[in-house]
Amino acid sequence: MACGSWTTCVPCCGGQSQQRNPRRGIEEFVPVDVSIRILLREAVNVPSADYYDASDTYVLVTLVSDDEVIRCSAHPNCTRTIDNSSMPIWNEEVELGIDVNDTHALLATRVRFTLMDQDSLSEDDYIGEAEISLKELIRRPLVSLLITNRDGDAVFGSSTPRKLCELKIENIVAEDHNPELPIPEPRSYSRDQYPKHVFMMSRGTRGDVQPFVALARGFAEEFGWMVTICTELKWKSFVKDKTNDLEQGVVRFLPSGGDTAKRISRWEAKKAMESKSEMMQTMMLGFAEAEFFSSAPVFIEYFERLRTSTPVDLIMPSFTLMGLGMLLSERYQTLMMGFILQPTCIPSADEDWHCVGSIKSHGNLGFLDDFEDAFFTSQKSLAWVKRIAENSIFSSFSLDKLRQEYGLSKAETWPTLLNCNTPMLIPMLDGTFKRPSDWPSRITFTDFIFLRSKNVSGGGLSPELQSFIQDAAENGRKLAVMTFSSMPVARKKMLTCAMKMLKDAKHNFSLIYVGSQQTDEIPDTLKEKVELMSSNKKFIELQRADFGELFKSMDCFIVHGGLGTTVEALRMHKPVAVTGLLLMDQRFWGGVVESKGIGPAPVHIDDFHESCVAFIDGALKPDSEWLKNAEAASWGAEDDDGVKENIDAVVRLLGENLKPVNSFVQNEGGVETTEREIYQLKKENYELKKAAVAEERARVEAVRAAVAEER
């Protein structure tokens, strides 16, 4: 049959069938050596794409690599249409062509299933899509795929409470099954095999997910526990790759929906990240959790399924999912323990406990810095923003609506958790910052946690980088490293600061930049300076490097303020400067560096060109105060990944008389009182005590003044 011709898809059983063009907008079919056959069984909870009835659904099947359609090698590449059904059943075979001798193609190729709603009088409507790697597909006999929209958010059915839209497929093993392919094997887990089951909830960047993977490995390797990590599909291969060498226990992956990388690549998100304003920082922190509320039905449904197969003993959410973790804990009466990478999100009535660190960003208009510091960095400001963000009347995923949808009464997250004394781990050494005086006892400091594979050394340094470092040593030059990790810092700004330091600093040094290269335009004059410094082996620009090896050779550090990178730098006992976009916890770590006397106050990358030379001069001089303080500070052993301290703390807390979250308690009159009200009463009592102390101090000072005057 010629490509592009009309075809009738023959079903295996039942259903209405319509003729349609299966390759509309899809590349031509390319014959390949080996075929893999799958059975498209059904979809469940398909939302209505029409106003008047259920969707008329069909599925398009394509092979993609690097987000590009590489071949139309599915035959037929679309199913027939099932009319007016939210639960369409196709039971149709699809044949996928792939050259299994091409290992790269096998690893890089993904199968994309796109759900469409057929319309007779207009273009067909897009419902959602799902992808699975070909490598995984050929190993699994039955697969249920979460359908997401183009932004990566989960698609739900039209009923309430919301149910996941999923596509169910089956891998068919034919009699002439190709010996190059593995035989699909079903996965089954028995709860009896594992002493405990931990359900981890995290969304965000790789830096947000990585500590959870390290903790999960520790639970599995040390105690033989089962851990389920529910996070964005983007990190599935990362989670799998980092946990595939476990000798006991198991780490499983479930997709939460969502794609943070896409979200922060939008124009409005980029503008927000570029802002130096404390007000904008507080707004972003306040909206951080609300941005992820769309994952609530995903967590709920997966948790429901796990209850019947492998019941969960402990829920561990990230700081951006505490409200949803609380919802799960209360609804299913399961223990909860937060794993908090950004401690400033935990409220306190202490006046010096700010949600966002302030920086000088208004030049000579210092009063604007003072204004923002006074009104937009307090915990009260954050609580106000969170209240608006998380209970917006315009959102179908507000926290109040979600709790009501799942049979719970309204409750505020942090007041409830603090009054329940819900345990929370902060993976930082005690003393990293001053602990607020009113935090409950189960907020626990542990140790910095890093993800390190026991079988991989990290890969070492490239020959190019080794040569660069050796040349600096032979010519008596100090070494500095500058890194912004994956933060979208304009390359022009980075290069401007780099060239200024290399040209104007008093000390002879070489500079290594490691990080993503942005695509902004670089002026010719700046390009010439970069080429000159590079040819003289004073500057090198790299996409990535093994920090574990590289940092050992450095004399000072310029970092973006992420927890992992900053602590790795601090453990080298050398001066550190924090600059970059300075988003939320990056400001926190800049403040830690300054408070410990190891470097200057954090400076936004827009202003770093004014102080970068002063940092290099101060950091590299022999009697540097920053160096003395850095050498005296303790940040844990250089080779300690901190996993044992964290998993031991979890076990210790589980040994206490913990209870699931409960947003209601009985007061003396037998009337139910919300934890929010109790928290407010305690807070008011605390404020009254503070006022009484202040009044007493004022009285004493007045008496002293009177006595002094009389004398």
Indicate which CATH number applies to the domain containing 545: 3.40.50.2000
Domain residues for the domain of 332 are: 192-271+294-348+398-445
Residue 181, pLDDT > 50, answer yes
* Measured CA distances, 636 to 213, 568, 639 (Å): 20, 10, 9
Tens of pLDDT, residue by residue over 372-431, are 888 889 999 999 999 999 998 888 899 999 999 999 999 999 999 999 999 999 999 999
Task: Supply 438's token pair.
Answer: 């009113």
Q: What is the mean pLDDT of the chain?
A: 86
**Is 552 a member of any domain?**
yes
**Is 710 a member of any domain?**
no
Residue 495, pLDDT > 80, answer yes
Distance CA 256, CA 54 (A): 26
Same domain, 226 and 338: yes
pLDDT band at 24 (very low <50, low <70, confident <90, very high): very low
Q: Are the C-beta atoms of residues 346 and 415 closer than 8 Å to each other?
A: no
Pairing of strands 424-426, 338-339: parallel
**Is 365 a member of any domain?**
no
Same domain, 104 and 253: no
Burial of 367 (0-12, 13-18, 19+ CB in 10 A): exposed
* Greater pLDDT, 314 or 49: 314
Same domain, 200 and 326: yes
pLDDT band at 625 (very low <50, low <70, confident <90, very high): very high
- Specify the range with the lowest mean pLDDT, choosing from 325-334, 344-353, 380-389, 689-698: 689-698
Q: Which of 116-130, 255-269, 669-683 has the highest mean predicted lDDT (pLDDT)?
A: 116-130
Average pLDDT, integer, range 15-20: 40
Same domain, 406 and 479: no
Residue 697, pLDDT > 90, answer no
Q: Are the C-beta atoms of residues 512 and 537 closer than 8 Å to each other?
A: no
Domain count, the chain: 4
Task: Supply 273's token pair.
Answer: 């990240």
DSSP H helices, 485-579, are 491-504, 524-535, 547-550, 563-570
pLDDT band at 517 (very low <50, low <70, confident <90, very high): confident
Q: Are the C-beta atoms of residues 69 and 126 closer than 8 Å to each other?
A: no
Average pLDDT, integer, range 166-170: 95
Same domain, 117 and 242: no
pLDDT band at 78 (very low <50, low <70, confident <90, very high): confident
pLDDT of 108 reads: 74
Amino acid at 260: T
pLDDT band at 102 (very low <50, low <70, confident <90, very high): low
**Is 23 a member of any domain?**
no
Q: Could you tell me what percentage of the chain is helix, strand and coil, using 3-state DSSP and rounding each to the nearest 5?
A: 40, 20, 40
Q: What percent of the chain has pLDDT over 70?
A: 85
Q: In the block, which residue shows the tokens 């405990």?
A: 196
Residue 571, pLDDT > 70, answer yes
Domain final residue pick, 603, 632, 661 = 632
pLDDT band at 680 (very low <50, low <70, confident <90, very high): low
Long-range pairs of 575-579 with CB within 8 A, sequence gap ≥ 24 = 575/599, 575/615, 575/618, 575/619, 575/624, 575/626, 575/627, 575/630, 576/626, 576/630, 577/603, 577/612, 577/615, 577/619, 578/602, 578/603, 579/497, 579/603, 579/604, 579/605, 579/608, 579/612
pLDDT of 131 reads: 93
Residue 138, pLDDT > 90, answer no
Domain final residue pick, 173, 204, 224 = 173
pLDDT band at 686 (very low <50, low <70, confident <90, very high): low
Same domain, 222 and 338: yes
Same domain, 196 and 159: no
Amino acid at 303: F
Burial readout 530-565 (b: 16 or more C-beta within 10 A, e: otherwise): beebeeebbbbbbeebebbbbbebbbbbbbbbbbbb
> Which residues face 131 on adjacent strands?
112
Q: What percent of the chain has pLDDT over 90?
A: 65
Same domain, 39 and 155: yes
Distance CA 540, CA 510 (A): 8
Average pLDDT, integer, range 660-678: 59
Closest C-alpha to 661, from 323, 192, 431:
323
Closest C-alpha to 469, from 537, 558, 565:
537
Tens of pLDDT, residue by residue over 434-445, are 999 999 999 999
Residue 673, pLDDT > 90, answer no
Which H/E stretch holds residue 199?
A: strand 197-201
Burial of 106 (0-12, 13-18, 19+ CB in 10 A): middle
Task: Supply 172's token pair.
Answer: 């068919």
pLDDT of 173 reads: 66
Burial of 434 (0-12, 13-18, 19+ CB in 10 A): exposed
Residue 18, pLDDT > 50, answer no
Average pLDDT, integer, range 679-686: 57
Same domain, 617 and 476: yes
Same domain, 467 and 614: yes
Burial of 235 (0-12, 13-18, 19+ CB in 10 A): buried
pLDDT of 6 reads: 28
pLDDT of 595 reads: 96
Domain final residue pick, 124, 146, 173 = 173
**Is 649 a member of any domain?**
no
Task: Supply 506's token pair.
Answer: 């008093």
DSSP secondary structure letters along 317-351:
E-GGGHHHHHHHHHHHT-EE-EE-S-GGGS----T
Distance CA 125, CA 131 (A): 19
Task: Supply 59's token pair.
Answer: 């599925």
Average pLDDT, integer, range 212-220: 97
Closest C-alpha to 409, from 682, 668, 673:
673
Tens of pLDDT, residue by residue over 632-659, are 999 998 889 999 999 999 999 999 989 9
- The phi and psi torsions of 561 (rounded to 5 degrees) equal 100, 10
Residue 1, pLDDT > 90, answer no
Average pLDDT, integer, range 521-538: 96
Distance CA 456, CA 499 (A): 35
**Is 532 a member of any domain?**
yes
In Å, the largest CA–CA distance within the chain is: 112
**Is 563 a member of any domain?**
yes
Same domain, 116 and 70: yes
pLDDT of 591 reads: 95
CATH number of the domain at 84, please: 2.60.40.150
Average pLDDT, integer, range 692-704: 73
Same domain, 218 and 249: yes
Burial of 527 (0-12, 13-18, 19+ CB in 10 A): exposed
Distance CA 702, CA 34 (A): 92
pLDDT band at 481 (very low <50, low <70, confident <90, very high): very high
| Peptide bond preceding 22 in cis form (omega within 30 of 0) | no
**Is 25 a member of any domain?**
no
pLDDT band at 29 (very low <50, low <70, confident <90, very high): very low
- Specify the range with the lowest mean pLDDT, choosing from 92-106, 282-296, 454-468, 531-545: 92-106
pLDDT of 533 reads: 97
Distance CA 205, CA 182 (A): 33
Q: Which of 15-19, 265-269, 436-440 has the highest mean predicted lDDT (pLDDT)?
A: 436-440
Tens of pLDDT, residue by residue over 187-199, are 777 778 999 999 9
Q: Are the C-beta atoms of residues 617 and 505 closer than 8 Å to each other?
A: yes
